[in-house]
Copies of this chain bind each other. A is one copy, B any other.
Amino acid sequence: MATIAATRLAEALARIKAVLGPKGWTAEPAEMAPYLADERRLWQGRAALVCLPASTKEVAAIVQIGAEARLPIVPQGGNTGMCGGAVPQSPDTVLVNLRRMNRIRALDRLNDAITVEAGCVLADIQNAAEDADRLFPLSLGAEGSCQIGGNLSTNAGGVNVLRYGMTRELVLGLEVVLPDGRVWDGLGALRKDNTGYDLKHLFLGAEGTLGVITAAVLKLFARPRTVETALIGIRDPAAALELLARARADSGDTVVAFELVPRACFDFVLRHIPGAVDPLAARHDWYVLMEWAGGDLGGALRERMEASLGEAAEAGLLRDATIAASDEQRNALWRLRDSITESQKPEGASIKHDVAVPVSRVPEFISRATAAVEREVPGVRVLAFGHVGDGNIHFNLSQPAGGAQDQAARTAFTARTHDINAIVHTITAELGGSISAEHGIGLLKRAELPHYKSAIGLDLMRTLKRAFDPHGIMNPGKVL
């Protein structure tokens, strides 16, 4: 039996290599290594072959041959995922990295649409849109190296979700290689199409378990001419929610970012990030970093933001605020926010959560989860920050102060990860929340999923998986 399997594997690999040509694959351990290790170095992948197809036709041929031989097929983009969704786990895996499929096939200015191959780097798509005086609003930390195929397969979030939605909502059409090697051409560029089931949503966010996304038509938007950014000192998260409701109304619902940050985060940033400065005179327990975007050129947006903040101050919803007066000041405000993760490192080990709750439950989530973890680990430092406009809190914990250099203290803290996760995720579930707001399930949260998802929901997911991938070859072991 082993010999038959080995022969079948060798034959399939030979056929795939012949399809791809010498530039289109590698089986050299050193060359394969970067594709097998994940971003967070949590897993060590194994594969028989790394394929680098240059066309949809080549992807289809790989999948068809792999399917005939019943080999596991793992699609991969920029390999920047946080949950191990692109890690190949068995030595007979055919890994399909899309990076050579990086053409922008078309940009239709008047349809506000761009057609891209799955291997396009996100920043390249943003730049192509900007060159046409348009905006592609998806924006996240890894945008310089992540690929759109991965963003689509994980339904990526990022900083502009409040105004423009998750990746799923930015898609007009998809091209997908199905688990049997057929190509579904769903590359429509329509805003409205009610001709049957909307198939694209099956593959978006499916983490490559139902097929390989090879291309997409994405929505573009008008590029904002003016952006106004404010840092606002507030009393507590409840005040942030009232402030958000006012800002949405006052801005004509054009708030593009609304980030909640506790003082503890800024303390870390001011301590560890060179050049970081607190722009407000006094300390505040909580902050909001808010951004509006508009089409004004004459300062009207700024006037409206000033008026809105003035009224909020009168209503007792904020204690102090500053609006950036220049791009430099704006960048400095964002640097405070974007440096939080980095500033946590010198403070020692950390345990992180990417959860979402209904926006209205954010204050309750933060207070309950904070109290619970403080009971569990006395002295733990809670950094609960994030995209509060989406109900998405990065509930990150740093070990108790003073132990950063103490390996035993670090290890002891990290050893609590499982218990802490259970505490935080249980509270999340009790508030109707999600244990993975942005990052997906992959390998990382697969075992946890059945505890937080309804049995019927999981059964429907399995029904879908069986219907589309009856032999279970597409990215096996992920999600389900």
Mark A185-199 against chain B: 1 for CB-CB distance below 8 A, else 0: 110111111111111
Q: Does A201 contact B (CB under 8 A)?
A: yes
Mark A120-136 against chain B: 1 for CB-CB distance below 8 A, else 0: 00000000000001000
Among candidates B293, B358, B460, residue contacting A190 with C-beta atoms closer than 8 Å: B358
Q: Does A110 contact B (CB under 8 A)?
A: yes
Q: Given contacts A108-B360, A468-B463, are A434 and B194 in contact (CB under 8 A)? A: yes
- Of all chain B residues, the one with the shortest Cβ separation from A301 is B252
For the complex formed, measure the closest distance between the CB of A303 and the CB atoms of chain B, giving whole angstroms: 8
Q: Does A477 contact B (CB under 8 A)?
A: no
Do B109 and A168 have beta carbons less than 8 Å apart?
A: no
- Please indicate the chain B residues that have their CB under 8 angstroms from the CB of A435 in the complex: 195
Do B194 and A441 have beta carbons less than 8 Å apart?
A: yes
Mark A167-206 against chain B: 1 for CB-CB distance below 8 A, else 0: 0110000000010001111101111111111110110111
For the complex formed, measure the closest distance between the CB of A65 and the CB atoms of chain B, giving whole angstroms: 19
- Please indicate the chain B residues that have their CB under 8 angstroms from the CB of A249 in the complex: 133, 222-223, 225, 295
Do B155 and A112 have beta carbons less than 8 Å apart?
A: no
Mark A439-463 against chain B: 1 for CB-CB distance below 8 A, else 0: 1110001000100111011101101
Among candidates B252, B432, B440, B453, residue contacting A294 with C-beta atoms closer than 8 Å: B252
Q: Does A339 contact B (CB under 8 A)?
A: no
Q: Does A221 contact B (CB under 8 A)?
A: yes
Among candidates B169, B185, B190, residue contacting A169 with C-beta atoms closer than 8 Å: B169
Do A110 and B360 have beta carbons less than 8 Å apart?
A: yes
**Docked complex: A419-450 residues within 8 A CB-CB of B:** 432-441, 445, 449
Q: How far is it, in angstroms, between the C-alpha of A195 and the C-alpha of B154 when the chains are bound?
A: 10
The 6 sampled A-B contact pairs (Cβ below 8 Å) are A111-B361, A165-B169, A166-B192, A178-B460, A192-B438, A225-B252
Q: Does A371 contact B (CB under 8 A)?
A: no
Q: How far is it, in angstroms, between the C-alpha of A252 and the C-alpha of B199 when the chains are bound?
A: 31
For the complex formed, measure the closest distance between the CB of A25 and the CB atoms of chain B, giving whole angstroms: 27
Among candidates B157, B184, B190, B253, residue contacting A192 with C-beta atoms closer than 8 Å: B157
- Please indicate the chain B residues that have their CB under 8 angstroms from the CB of A52 in the complex: none
Do B434 and A197 have beta carbons less than 8 Å apart?
A: no
- Please indicate the chain B residues that have their CB under 8 angstroms from the CB of A293 in the complex: 252
Do A196 and B453 have beta carbons less than 8 Å apart?
A: yes
For the complex formed, measure the closest distance between the CB of A179 and the CB atoms of chain B, giving whole angstroms: 11
Do A193 and B356 have beta carbons less than 8 Å apart?
A: yes
For the complex formed, measure the closest distance between the CB of A106 and the CB atoms of chain B, giving whole angstroms: 10
Do A195 and B360 have beta carbons less than 8 Å apart?
A: no
Q: How far is it, in angstroms, between the C-alpha of A169 and the C-alpha of B168 when the chains are bound?
A: 10
Q: Does A466 contact B (CB under 8 A)?
A: yes
- Please indicate the chain B residues that have their CB under 8 angstroms from the CB of A248 in the complex: 112, 221-222
Q: Does A304 contact B (CB under 8 A)?
A: yes
Do B108 and A195 have beta carbons less than 8 Å apart?
A: no
- Please indicate the chain B residues that have their CB under 8 angstroms from the CB of A58 in the complex: none
Q: Does A390 contact B (CB under 8 A)?
A: yes
- Please indicate the chain B residues that have their CB under 8 angstroms from the CB of A304 in the complex: 295-296, 300
- Please indicate the chain B residues that have their CB under 8 angstroms from the CB of A224 in the complex: 252-253
Do B456 and A185 have beta carbons less than 8 Å apart?
A: yes
- Of all chain B residues, the one with the shortest Cβ separation from A165 is B169
For the complex formed, measure the closest distance between the CB of A49 and the CB atoms of chain B, giving whole angstroms: 27
**Docked complex: A54-84 residues within 8 A CB-CB of B:** none
For the complex formed, measure the closest distance between the CB of A169 and the CB atoms of chain B, giving whole angstroms: 6
Q: Given contacts A195-B435, A252-B293, A253-B295, are A184 and B456 in contact (CB under 8 A)? A: yes
